[in-house]
Amino acid sequence: MYAYSTFDHQFLKTRNAQFRAQVERRISGALTEDEFKPLRLMNGLYLQLHAYMLRVAIPYGTLHSAQMRQLAEIAERWDKGYGHFTTRQNIQFNWPRLRDVPDMLDALAEVGMHAIQTSGNCVRNVTADHFAGAAADEIADPRPVAELLRQWSTDHPEFQFLPRKFKIAITGSPNDRAVTRAHDIGLRMVTRDGAQGYEVIIGGGLGRTPVIGKVLAEFLPQDDLLPYIEAILSTYNSFGRRDNKYKARIKIMVNELGLDEVRARVDSRFKTLRAEWGGADQAVLHDLRAAFAPPAFRSAPTAAYDAAYAYDPVFRSFADTNLAAHRHPDYAIVTISLKAHGATPGDATAAQMRVMADLAAEFGHDELRISHEQNVILPHVHKSDLPRVHATLQAAGLATANIGLISDIIACPGMDYCALATARSIPVAQDIAQAFRARELDIGAMKIKISGCINACGHHHVGHIGILGLDRAGVENYQITLGGDGTETAALGERAGPGFAYDQIIPAIDRLVTAYLALREGAEESFIDTFRRLGPKPFKDALYQTGGRADAA
Amino acid sequence: MSRAFLPSVLTANDLFEGDVVYLTASGHWSRAHGDALLFQDAAAAGEALAAAQAQPARLVGPYLAPAQSGPQGPRPVHFREGFRARGPSNYRYGKQAQGMCRP
């Protein structure tokens, strides 16, 4: 993993001292709220419905045990003893007091963390495949490049005032776990004639104008990556719209200029920038690759795992749902579900954070990951350690075996916290998880994603079933989209029809699930596969109970 | 033609805690919606809003929120104001945990 340099530490120290002074000037009345707001947002501090919220970046979702322990410490000392992991691999503290935030930022800096550029019209936290460096299907670990992008974009003077926020995601695997096609720039590592490079996807995004990203470059040699990204940002900074906030994302620029014209402008800018960089980026990248070298994997018998799998049905259930294939055959990737049935998706208590940190330190080569699906991952666990890891997770209420199932729901904070929300998300997720608990193994793979407004932080457009909470004449109302997909076969869900009242959403989902179970060609055919085979009609008929009438017509 | 004025309370967030506050009849800021002064006419509400906007060292983002009178004082009209007056629905934090929220 990357360890902060002296430069990084000094930069944070200076920046935090500046913010401390800004907070003091706000409290003294020397700064008005209008003057202070952009300064606090640049440091990740929002004001939400009930309190301030501090959004802390977890670069490419990677952290080590000391960082996780510090997050627990911050949650206990200055918040209400828990944190909320987000769909952008960040963590949010929901109850800080203004006077305490400078101390919280200093505490973060102690472990090489910060909240810079978690808000504002700048390059946000670069997200990555949460299985990076561990996945069996990976071409190469994308995190050295993600860290290069983090260093390049942090406080980049040219890109602090972009037309709008800018999100970059990267994956090193053909199986896209980073939703690259729903980002301003998505990077997918590919190989051509034995050489590694990137497919560069541009102009994806969800929000009020959902767009699946388009391929700007099919194969970009990896040495060209940073100058090429800079050329994209530079082109966007020059030609992206600033007259209308809702048309300011790069996806609108791509739509209005056309992909070919964007490519021509980026290529032109790239020629200049490529020469200017002179390979400095490659020297940094070389060092970063060394920092992200894989840990020394242990060769040991896996008999303890095999025995537990054979004789302990609870462990077997956990292993079947929460483990993923590791690049080393004796290891597994463990996904710790933050989706216990009825709990708030993505929330972990300080005690749970410490348990996860301890497990990472003892059994996981000191690595943890946060997924955009709001779970925590131990990327490198030797199989022989899995029974002990599982037992420890069980004792901490962290052993829910539901990864990829209907209760493993993405949900934004919604109107329980967020000032932008138009309806609640969290209780909808809680209720769905409870309602389908008994049937979820039978239902199988299912991604439900819930947003509490059209900004789509809950990724509802790419949910197999997406739920969007709206305010309809002063009442919460929920639209359902069907057939979305956030993976390498990305697709936007299609709106099913009129929305449902808050108390009608569970019966509506139940009709969809019941229809699916009746329509599938056996338990092997997932909801999304059945939807793709049959199209939306039978699902809409079930949802709106129109099947009989449609057949009769 | 301006829209008809709806009876409203004056609300903001506290600068230090971020907590929701309401202007009371005595001119103080309370954490409880039920303590709020319910403005019945636009002119008085507008004056109070302007006065609140001139207190940047205490308040953030003051605005008028429609409310209706009830036996325990004014009650929110819109569900968003209901959550602001109560706290989140997933945990008993915020006003509901501080005895600031009346049924």
Closest to A372 measured CA to CA, from A313, A425, A303, A449: A449
Higher-pLDDT residue of A551 and A226 is A226
Q: How high is the ipTM of this complex?
A: 0.96
| Residue B75 Cα, gap to closest chain A Cα (Å) | 15
> What does the pLDDT read at residue A401?
98
Assess A99–B contact: CB distance below 8 Å, yes or no. Answer: yes
Is a pLDDT exceeding 60 seen at residue A552?
no
**Residue B87 with chain A: CB contacts under 8 Å:** 50
Helix axes of A250-257 and A225-239: crossing angle, nearest 10 degrees: 80
> What does the pLDDT read at residue B31?
96
Determine, for residues A32 and B16 on separate chains, whether the beta-carbon distance falls below 8 Å.
no
Cα A149 to the chain's mean position, in Å?
A: 17
Determine, for residues B89 and A427 on separate chains, whether the beta-carbon distance falls below 8 Å.
yes
Measure CA of the first residue to CA of the last residue in chain B; give whole Å: 37
Assess A427–B contact: CB distance below 8 Å, yes or no. Answer: yes
DSSP A507-542: HHHHHHHHHHHHHSSSTTS-HHHHHHHH-SHHHHHH
Q: Which residue has the tokens 């909808």?
A: A428
Domain A6-110 top-level CATH class = alpha beta
Q: Kindly report, residue by residue over B2-43, the tens digit of the pLDDT.
A: 678 999 999 999 999 999 999 999 999 999 999 999 999 999
**In chain A, where the domains are located:** 6-110, 142-291, 303-395, 410-552
| Cα distance between residue A357 and residue A191, in whole Å | 35
Q: Which superfamily is assigned to A410-552 in CATH?
A: Sulfite Reductase Hemoprotein, domain 1 (3.30.413.10)
Is a pLDDT exceeding 90 seen at residue B57?
no
Mean pLDDT within A280-286: 93
Is a pLDDT exceeding 60 seen at residue A29?
yes
> What does the pLDDT read at residue B55?
83
Q: What is the DSSP letter of A2?
A: -
Fold of A303-395: Sulfite Reductase Hemoprotein; domain 2 (3.90.480)
Determine, for residues A29 and B56 on separate chains, whether the beta-carbon distance falls below 8 Å.
yes
Place A547 in a pLDDT band, splitting at 50, 70 and 90: confident
Assess A69–B contact: CB distance below 8 Å, yes or no. Answer: no
Mean pLDDT within A210-227: 96
**Residue A50 with chain B: CB contacts under 8 Å:** 18-20, 83-84, 87-88, 93-95
Assess A475–B contact: CB distance below 8 Å, yes or no. Answer: yes
> What does the pLDDT read at residue A548?
58
Place A551 in a pLDDT band, splitting at 50, 70 and 90: very low
Assess B87–A contact: CB distance below 8 Å, yes or no. Answer: yes
Assess B2–A contact: CB distance below 8 Å, yes or no. Answer: no
A100: nearest CA partner in chain B: B16
A78: nearest CA partner in chain B: B17
Q: What architecture is domain A142-291?
A: 2-Layer Sandwich (3.30)
Handedness of CA A139, A143, A149, A152 (dihedral sign): negative
> What does the pLDDT read at residue B1?
47
At a CB cut-off of 8 Å and minimum separation 6, what does A231 contact? A266, A267, A269, A270, A273
Is a pLDDT exceeding 70 seen at residue A408?
yes
Phi, psi of A510, rounded to the nearest 5 degrees: -60, -40
**Residue B90 with chain A: CB contacts under 8 Å:** 344, 416, 426-427, 430
Determine, for residues B56 and A47 on separate chains, whether the beta-carbon distance falls below 8 Å.
no
Assess A341–B contact: CB distance below 8 Å, yes or no. Answer: no
> What does the pLDDT read at residue B2?
60
Assess A27–B contact: CB distance below 8 Å, yes or no. Answer: yes
| Cα distance between residue A182 and residue A204, in whole Å | 4
Strands (E), A210-325: 214-221, 323-325
Across the interface, which of B15, B56, B88 has its CB nearest the CB of A98? B15
Is a pLDDT exceeding 80 seen at residue A296?
yes
**Residue B20 with chain A: CB contacts under 8 Å:** 49-50
> What does the pLDDT read at residue A131?
98
Determine, for residues B61 and A33 on separate chains, whether the beta-carbon distance falls below 8 Å.
yes
Assess B71–A contact: CB distance below 8 Å, yes or no. Answer: no
Q: Kindly report, residue by residue over A476-505, the tens digit of the pLDDT.
A: 999 999 999 999 999 999 999 999 999 999
Identical fold between A6-110 and A410-552:
no
> What does the pLDDT read at residue B56?
77
Place B100 in a pLDDT band, splitting at 50, 70 and 90: confident
DSSP A452-499: SSTT-TT-GGGSSEEEEEEEETTEEEEEEEES-B-STT-B--EE-SS-
Chain pair A-B, CB pairs under 8 angstroms: 73
Cα A429 to the chain's mean position, in Å?
A: 17
| Residue B78 Cα, gap to closest chain A Cα (Å) | 6
Beta bridge mates, A185: A168, A202
Across the interface, which of B60, B77, B94 has its CB nearest the CB of A50? B94
Q: Put residue A278 in one of left, alpha, beta given phi > 0 → left and psi -120 to 50 → alpha.
A: left
Element (H, E) at A414: none
| Cα distance between residue B86 and residue A178, in whole Å | 36
